[in-house]
Amino acid sequence: MSCKLKIGILGSGKGSNFLAIQNAIEQGKLSAEVRVVLSDVENAGILDYARRKGLNAVFVPPGKFRTKLEPAAEQKCVEILREAGVELVVLAGFMRMLKSIFLDAFDGRVVNIHPSLLPAFAGLEAWKQALDYGVHYTGCTVHYVTREMDAGPIIAQAVVPVLPEDTPEKLHARIQAEEHLIYPQAIQWIAEGKLTMSGRRG
Ligand code: GAR
């Protein structure tokens, strides 16, 4: 159907959020279409999942930096996403900061999921940061991407209790179960035109 939101997904890891989004689409809960999946990691699980679903899945060599893409790699991503007609870019475990070539091209049209209740515990291994800090509740956040790391307007959050017997792995698994619910829901709100970059529901 032509009214489906055309999305492009970027991920560096195993791809469980991609799968949750694709499953929500297949179950008719999310009115979107995955046009392309990109990864900066050649053997990332997300590329395997995407290929098994018959989707266009592309490895983009990131270049020499560890925490961001080289400008030429950002430009390459922009070209692939544009060619695929992508309207919304969905970061699903993409572990590099996007810079101005990318963010100018998709201004206000990039969303991310982060495994904590932002603004607490931005950055890497947020579930471990929460456990080490000793908070009793953490969770996950879907937000628009801005130039600052893990800091854009918030679209959706889910709360997860931290249990006495938690290990980093157990806590992350429970956070991920919530991610898989709120990310497709947040994208559906955008598809319905209920959200703007301000994060407000219309
Ligand atoms: C998710 O927990 C996501 O919140 C996190 O990476 C994981 C990816 O899992 N993202 C970040 O930490 C971004 N700062 P997945 O590959 O199974 O979707």
In tens, the pLDDT along 156-175 reads 999 999 999 999 999 999 99
Query: Is residue 48 within 8 Å of residue 39, measured between CB atoms?
Result: no
Averaged pLDDT of the chain: 95
Q: What are phi and psi of 8, to 5 degrees?
A: -120, 135
At residue 134, does pLDDT exceed 50? yes
Chain centroid to Cα 40, Å, comes to 14
Atom of ligand 1 nearest to the CA of 20: 18
- CA 84 to ligand 1 centroid distance, Å: 24
In this structure, is the dihedral angle defined by the CA atoms of residues 69, 99, 38 and 77, taken in order, positive or negative? negative
One-letter amino acid for residue 75 of the chain: Q
pTM listed for this prediction: 0.96
Is the shortest distance between the CB of 16 and ligand 1 below 6 Å?
yes
pLDDT at 196: 64
164 CA to middle of ligand 1, Å? Answer: 23
pLDDT in tens, 68-113: 999 999 999 999 999 999 999 999 999 999 999 999 999 999 999 9
pLDDT-derived band of residue 3, with 50, 70 and 90 as boundaries? Answer: confident
Q: Are 84 and 56 in contact (CB under 8 A)?
A: yes
Given pLDDT bands bounded at 50, 70 and 90, which one contains residue 198?
Answer: low
Report residue 195 as tokens. 């959200």
pLDDT recorded at residue 17 = 98
Task: Answer yes or no: are the C-beta atoms of 3 and 30 closer than 8 Å.
Answer: no
**CB contact at 8 A, 160 and 138:** yes
Is the CB of 176 inside a 6 Å radius of any atom of ligand 1? yes
In this predicted structure, the answer to whether residue 129 has a pLDDT above a threshold of 70 is yes
Give the Å distance between the CA of 76 and the centre of ligand 1. 23
- Locate the domains of the chain by residue range: 5-191
Q: Could you tell me which residues are beta bridge partners of residue 90?
A: 9, 111
Q: What's domain 5-191's architecture?
A: 3-Layer(aba) Sandwich (3.40)
Strand extents, DSSP E, the chain:
5-10, 32-39, 57-59, 88-91, 110-114, 137-144, 154-161
